[in-house]
Amino acid sequence: MLASDVVSRAILDAAKDDAISAILFRVDSPGGSPLASDIVWRAIQQARSGGKPVIASLSDVAASGGYFVVCGADAIVADPATFTGSIGVFVLRPVLEKLLGKLDIGVEVLTRGTHADLLIGSRPLSESSRALLRNEVRSIYDLFVERVAAGRSMTAEQVDSLGRGRVWTGAQALEKGLIDEVGGISAAATRAKLALGLDADADVALVPYPSPTHLADQIDELLRRMTIAVRPALPFQDLAERLEPWLSPAGEAPSLLPPFLVEIR
């Protein structure tokens, strides 16, 4: 899982890298936080403002926030069966009053302010808080519609007719103007080359951002989590503690290989 700060930073780093000519943004996401989606969307706009084309390639799913982040790209390419769109917003606010009663758990809440009970799950929302929450959801949906309309050269009414949570396949999304082409990552790469004025069969290098984590670093992180976070529960605690120093950063000193080979299956 890549959070918005990791993704947005990777996009901005690629945008600043003179060796990178275009950004191919691969997305496989059912969505999530509106704030996180907006952060990634803004990073894409910053990259585009710097003159670098941003081509979105949709994998299995690009729904809700997964579509929000790419709606402002220079072009969007999706597989025929990609779950696309789901332009909509919802919020879950559970009421646990009866459950807490069954468990004989008493809750006493002291509030200050008209809507201080908004996130208190031990009792139902007041009418004024419910109206406030509804308005917040509506404002986020309106922003979503506005972003898609601007990115896809549509009116807000057209986007709304395709939105309200409706999910389309990639083939349907092409007919409705939500994407530009049906195809995989190769088709998206060809789009990027054409956007740069290159031939479709030009030889280019695809550089992943952020760079993949080295295997030794992954094992190091795993050992640190095991020996620090859940050390008392480990049946092989002694072995993990002996291995951890070998994978710790050695500064400028040369690294030595352990006297055995590790086979990972």
Pairing verdict, β 83-85 and 167-168: antiparallel
Q: What are phi and psi of 24, to 5 degrees?
A: -105, 110
Cα gap 69→61, rounded to integer Å: 13
Kindly list the distances between the CA atom of residue 169 and the CA atoms of 61, 67, 173, in Å, as whole numbers in the listed order: 9, 13, 6
Cα gap 181→175, rounded to integer Å: 10
What residues does 63 pair with on adjacent strands? 85
Cα gap 202→183, rounded to integer Å: 18
Instruction: Please classify residue 180 by burial: count the beta carbons closer than 10 Å to its beta carbon, then call 0-12 exposed, 13-18 middle and 19+ buried.
Output: buried
Instruction: Please classify residue 44 by burial: count the beta carbons closer than 10 Å to its beta carbon, then call 0-12 exposed, 13-18 middle and 19+ buried.
Output: buried
Q: Where are any strands of DSSP class E within 86-179?
A: 167-168
Compute CA 150 distance to the chain's CA centroid, rounded to the nearest angstrom: 21
Pick the catalytic residue from 4, 8, 57, 64: 64
Amino acid in the structure at residue 36: A
Catalytic annotation present for 64: yes
- Assign 169 to helix, strand or coil: coil
Residue positions annotated with a catalytic role: 64
